[in-house]
Chains A and B, each alone.
Chain A
Amino acid sequence: MTKSADILDGLSEATPAFRRYARALGAGAGLVVADGVVQAALQGLGARMRAREICPTDREAARVEAYAAITALAARKFIATPGPGPRQPPIVHGLSRLHVDDRAVLLLICLEGFGYETVARIVGASRESVFVRLQRARLAMADWADMTNIPAEMSPTRNSAHLRVVK
């Protein structure tokens, strides 16, 4: 197997994790939009690799590039998406209130398990900036991790017994 084929295989295998990250980064934006971001980011990455604009040396480097592409695209795509619905878990509401830059740093570290240096490369910021964003995100999320219910003012009353919900 050639190196480029191996790298493409690596990206393919990491797709479930990319979806997880994009979905969390969207914080209520919906699966279709999040998958669209992953698809566009990976297609763009593949095109840049074919054009030799970037030449990842191994699977891990390609994975980092993919996260960077998703993060950059998400900053534009998710900016106008509506917030999560009232039945979403509290932690998702907390995420949706973070600035997308802070959200990205928090998720890359806490959900995706990257170190600070790698996260700095992914988001294109210094290590110090990454740490400040992480601090800010964790502080803002402090009240949401312990909540088990959404505040009452966020749960509109329903009067729709005639509607049959199919999931």
Chain B
Amino acid sequence: MEEADLHAFVDGLLDPQQRRQVEEHLLTHPEDAALVENWRRQNAALRAVYEPIARETPAPSLRSAAAQVTSQPQGPAIETGATHWGRPGVLPRMRRREDVLAQQRRQAIFASVLAVLAVAAVAALATFIFAGRHESSPSQSVMSVPQGYVSRAGLTYATYISDVHAVEIDASRHDELMSWLKSRVGFAKLPDLSAHGLRLLGGRVAPGVAAPAGFLVYERADGGRVGLYFERATASVSQQNAKVGIGIAAIEWRAADFAFVLIGPLSVDEMQSVAESAAARVNLPAPGQ
């Protein structure tokens, strides 16, 4: 019996007759049976870990990725001096029907979004006018922001992390970034997380739960990004069982009267290790103090 037959047996690639032959062989060759059993356990272990991913619902943009027309260049630059709308010979002469339908769908979606925004704007204006005439109690205002720091950090992360302008001031303008964060947020330290493979891209000021918040963005060599959110901690903000998204972990801690949330697509262990470093560095006295 060849080893190839044993592999094919485990992989279900044998016809019924070959399969019976291998089964009979395994009955009399325990060492081969053990080998086959080990391979089966490998397969089972792989499926146990990764099969749940196939049951998740992918993002719509991922499902339609093959149908998306990207703006990436499809070939070498054209150097004829003429103006070409696309690469000659590549685009079909006529737009396909599904492209037209897709464009119509996009236009319909765009029109719907505009209509919703218009209605929202009118509603907001009406609320503003109404609120101006009938003052609401302070407790009603507080009730409208039922968020904790982790939720707010999750929102900030989702909003900015994959944006082209994820940061407003990049790390090369270190002093400017420090000064800005100090004046707007009241805290300015830029923890060095390079030991964890995280390079500081820069930072921005973002809306916090009760005050302006700082948001620093770090990037790994593979392009994965981690955010460090911080905001002056107030006693009125309660900790909640926040959810920050599938595949995203967040770690929250308090130091120097500030709430910090580290958030990103790392494993919990990696995040914990990075958070420990960040927590240690924000507790260090600033240079010159």
Residues on A lying within 8 angstroms of B by beta carbon are: 2, 4-5, 8, 11-12, 15-17, 19-20, 23-24, 28-33, 35-36, 38-39, 42-43, 45-47, 49-52, 66, 77-78, 80-82, 84-92, 95, 107, 109-111, 113, 115-116, 131, 134-135, 138, 141-142, 144-146, 156, 158-160, 162-167
Quote the shortest CB–CB distance from B163 to chain A (angstroms).
14
With contacts A85-B269, A87-B267 taken as known, whether A46 is within 8 angstroms of B67 at the C-beta atoms is yes
> Chain B residues near A90 (CB, 8 Å)?
45
Q: Contact partner of A32 among B50, B224, B252, B267, CB < 8 A?
A: B224
- Is B15's beta carbon under 8 Å from chain A? no
CA distance A83 to B162 in the complex (A): 23
Q: Select from chain B the residue with minimum beta-carbon distance to A26.
A: B222
Question: Which residues of B approach A to under 8 Å, CB–CB?
Answer: 3-4, 7-8, 11-13, 38-39, 41-43, 45-51, 53-59, 61-70, 72, 74, 87, 90-92, 96-98, 150, 197, 220-224, 239, 242-244, 246-247, 249-254, 265-273, 275-276, 279
Q: Is the CB of B46 within 8 A of A111?
A: yes
Number of A-B contacts (CB under 8 A): 200
Can you sample 28 A-B contacts with CB below 8 Å?
A2-B96, A4-B98, A12-B64, A15-B63, A20-B53, A24-B46, A30-B266, A31-B265, A32-B224, A33-B223, A43-B68, A43-B72, A46-B68, A46-B69, A51-B90, A92-B49, A110-B47, A115-B11, A131-B4, A142-B42, A144-B45, A145-B42, A160-B279, A162-B254, A165-B249, A165-B268, A165-B271, A166-B250
Which residues of A lie under 8 Å from residue B8 when comparing CB positions? Answer: 116
> How far apart sit A134 and B56, CA to CA, in the bound complex (Å)?
28
| Distance to closest chain B CB from A157 (angstroms) | 11
Asked if A23 and B53 make an inter-chain contact with CB atoms under 8 angstroms apart, the answer reads: yes
Known: A81-B221, A111-B47, A131-B7. 16 other contacts (CB 8 A): A16-B58, A29-B222, A32-B265, A33-B224, A33-B265, A42-B65, A43-B68, A78-B222, A81-B222, A84-B267, A116-B13, A131-B4, A135-B3, A145-B38, A145-B45, A163-B253
Asked, given contacts A19-B56, A134-B7, A166-B242, whether A115 binds B65 with beta carbons under 8 Å apart, the answer is no
**What's the minimum C-beta distance from B257 to chain A, rounded to whole angstroms?**
15
A85 touches B246 (CB 8 A): no
A51 & B74 in contact (Cβ 8 Å cutoff): yes
Instruction: Decide yes or no: A162 and B38 within 8 Å by CB, A12-B63, A43-B70, A131-B7 being known contacts.
Output: no
Q: In whole Å, how far is A97's beta carbon from the nearest beta carbon of chain B?
A: 13
Q: Which residues of chain B are within 8 angstroms of A42 by Cβ–Cβ distance?
A: 62, 65-66
A164 touches B252 (CB 8 A): yes
**In the assembled complex, which residues on chain A have CB atoms less than 8 Å from the CB atom of B222?**
29-30, 33, 77-78, 80-82
Cβ contact of B267, chosen from A15, A24, A88, cutoff 8 A: A88
A55 CB, nearest partner CB in chain B, Å: 13
List residues of chain A with CB within 8 A of the CB of B45.
89-91, 144-145
Taking CB atoms, residues of chain B closer than 8 Å to A111 are 43, 46-47, 50
Q: Known contacts A145-B41, A146-B41; is A160 also within 8 Å of B74 by CB? A: no
**Contact, CB under 8 Å: B53 / A163:** no
In the complex the two chains form, what is the Cα distance from A138 to B90 in whole Å?
44
User: Given A51-B74, A92-B49, A110-B46, A115 and B13 touching (CB < 8 A)?
Assistant: yes
Contact residues in A for B242 (Cβ distance below 8 Å): 166
> Which residues of B lie under 8 Å from residue A113 when comparing CB positions?
12
Taken together as a complex, chains A and B put the C-alpha atoms of A51 and B89 apart, in Å, by 8
- Contacting residues, chain B, for A17 (C-beta < 8 A): 54
Chain A nearest CB from B169 CB (Å) reads: 24
* A145 cross-chain contacts in B, Cβ below 8 A: 38, 41-42, 45
B46 touches which one: A47, A50, A91 (CB < 8 A)? A91
B277: min CB distance to chain A, Å: 10
Complex: chain A residue closest to B271, CB-CB: A165
Determine if B51 and A19 form an interchain contact, defined as CB atoms under 8 angstroms apart: no
Q: Which residues on A sit within 8 Å (CB–CB) of B265?
A: 30-33
Q: B58: nearest residue on chain A (CB-CB)?
A: A15
